[in-house]
Structure 1
Amino acid sequence: MPVAELLARTSSAELTEWIAYEQITGPLGGARHDVLNAILTAVVANTARGKGRASKPADFLPKWDRNRRMDWREMLAAVKQINRRMGGTDTTRVRR
């Protein structure tokens, strides 16, 4: 889908939620392309290296979970921050 069509069909709030989700869980998609690319990068790096330790795919794999899980309040704060950065509006209601 072209970017213009995506933006016409998807709200800022929904895009913000998907961005936050991807930052927490890692890349979206059926296959984990980050893992496949890490394997390929390790192979290429090992063919070009000199003496020393061989590279492993884990050396090139992003760490998506940031070492700990966020609770729902932290996730909500992260989504709101991303939404603000993208110029979105916060339509949540404050409970009292």
Structure 2
Amino acid sequence: MGKTVAQLLSEIESSELTEWLAFDQIEPFGDPRADLRMGLVCSTVANHSLSPPKKPHRPSDYMLFSPERQDKPVLLQDPKAQSDLIRQALFGVKPS
């Protein structure tokens, strides 16, 4: 579990915390970086499968929260239609 800002400031100086924040802007670490690494693995596997894709997959294609993705959420009125849309987007399962 992460620490709160107050807990961090009780252990390190404000200037050190500021340096870490600046470093994260230059060389990100944590979950976003882990998502990028996993996106690289997924896109590599997809691009070098037995049936190459017509359009190469990018790491951001496999990242839910990527700076490259500018998708707007699709919210449908019908809950079943929303569920079917999510299932199709994630697993390629067509509605029955």
Greater RCO structure (CA 8 Å; 6+ sep)? 1
TM-score tier (shorter):
0.3 to 0.5
What is the TM-score with the length of structure 2 in the denominator? 0.35
Point out the structure with max Rg over C-alpha. Answer: 2
What is the TM-score with the length of structure 1 in the denominator? 0.35
